[in-house]
């Protein structure tokens, strides 16, 4: 199995947490700052992971408000 980028690992972890019900539909995901601290990565890595979840249709972003799990 080839090595994976850190943003892919984070996106997969968050997707798993969403699927398991830890973050139910309509709930707000942790802030960018909280995710950076939790995963020990930089802002662009978290942004890329969030982009992956958005493309998969798992999250919706409300600018200035936060990222929410899609209904």
pLDDT for residue 53: 98
* Residue 29 located in a structural domain: yes
Q: How far is CA 44 from CA 49, 50, 71, in A?
A: 9, 10, 26
pLDDT for residue 3: 81
**Overall domain count for the chain:** 1
Residues 14, 20, 25, 31, CA torsion sign: negative
What is the reported pTM? Answer: 0.92
* Residue 65 located in a structural domain: no
The average confidence (pLDDT) of the chain is 96
Return the H-helix or E-strand segment holding 34: helix 32-39
CA distance 67 to 71: 12
Give me the CATH number covering residue 18: 1.10.10.10
pLDDT for residue 22: 97
The answer to whether 32 and 48 have CB atoms below 8 angstroms apart is: no
* Residue 55 located in a structural domain: yes
Domain boundaries, position 38: 6-60
* Residue 69 located in a structural domain: no
pLDDT for residue 7: 97
pLDDT in tens, 27-56: 999 999 999 999 999 999 999 999 999 999
């Amino acid at each position: 199995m080839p090595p994976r980028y850190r943003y892919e690992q984070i996106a997969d972890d968050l997707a798993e947490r969403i699927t398991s019900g830890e973050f139910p539909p309509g709930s707000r995901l942790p802030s960018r700052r909280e995710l950076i601290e939790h995963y020990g990565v930089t802002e662009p890595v978290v942004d890329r992971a969030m982009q992956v979840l958005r493309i998969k249709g798992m999250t919706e972003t409300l600018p200035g408000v936060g990222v929410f799990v899609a209904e």
